[in-house]
Amino acid sequence: MATLMEDDVFRAFTTYAAIVIVKMVLMGPLTAYYRITRGSFANLEDVARKSADEQKKLLRTHPDVERVRRCHLNDLENIVPFLGIALLYTLTGPDLSCALLHFRVFAGSRIFHTISYVGALPQPCRGLSYLTGATVTLSMAYRVLSTVLVL
């Protein structure tokens, strides 16, 4: 592991992987914040100390909570594949500047995606940020496949 951390591209990968993972992990507390502030809970045990009438009011969905949840799901659908492809991409020996461009654009696109999703910014903000991240992942996948594909 020590020799891997001496490789600049691998260090860049670990840096940006950590950034997008932390961003994704923070979506859990953000969901909890929205649940508490909007009074919208999913499970009976979350409101067990409340009266029956209050439980009926609190066991419901709220558009803001669902928006954050969908954003979190979108992160899972995009960040997890990025991590796998980016690791394989790192192993193909790309130039540091090219790797940094891929990693930075992906991380930036996911952060902007969250801002545009949770903040309900008008389209095409969210769509473009999603497409940008997906294009980066596909670009790295192309590099991996073109490097190792044996026909």
Ordered by start, the domain boundaries in the chain are 4-145
pLDDT of residue 131: 98
Long-range Cβ contacts of 138-146 (<8 Å, 24+ apart): 139/102, 140/85, 140/86, 140/88, 140/89, 140/102, 141/85, 141/89, 143/89, 143/92, 143/94, 144/85, 144/88, 144/89, 144/92
Structure confidence by residue, pLDDT tens digits, 74-132 = 999 999 999 999 999 999 999 999 999 999 999 999 999 999 999 999 999 999 999 99
In CATH, the architecture of 4-145 is Up-down Bundle (1.20)
pTM of the model: 0.91
